[in-house]
Amino acid sequence: MPPPNFMEGIDDVAVETLKAPEEIRRSITRPENVRLYYRRVAGTPIADKRVSVVANISGRSPRLFGRCLR
């Protein structure tokens, strides 16, 4: 059996995390324009995960970076 794809569906998870985060934090290093959005996601291929979406909210086009945390 092939290993599970950890990034499968991550775009949908990122959007849901931004729409309904469980927690929002300001970046320690760039508190004026970087936010961290967190949400717990059940039923991923391996186990439940805590997703972090990092958003740069400066005046330029938004940039998003996502990853799954334990």
Higher-pLDDT residue of 48, 4 = 48
Burial class of residue 55 in the structure, from the number of CB atoms within 10 Å of its CB (0-12 exposed, 13-18 middle, 19+ buried): buried
What gap in Å lies between CA 63 and CA 8, rounded to an integer? Answer: 20
Reported pTM: 0.68
5-62 pLDDT per residue, tens: 556 667 788 888 888 999 999 999 988 888 999 999 886 666 777 888 888 887 665 5
Model pLDDT, residue 68: 47
List the one residue out of 8, 9, 6, 21 whose CA is nearest residue 52. Answer: 21
> How many CB atoms within 10 Å of residue 37?
21
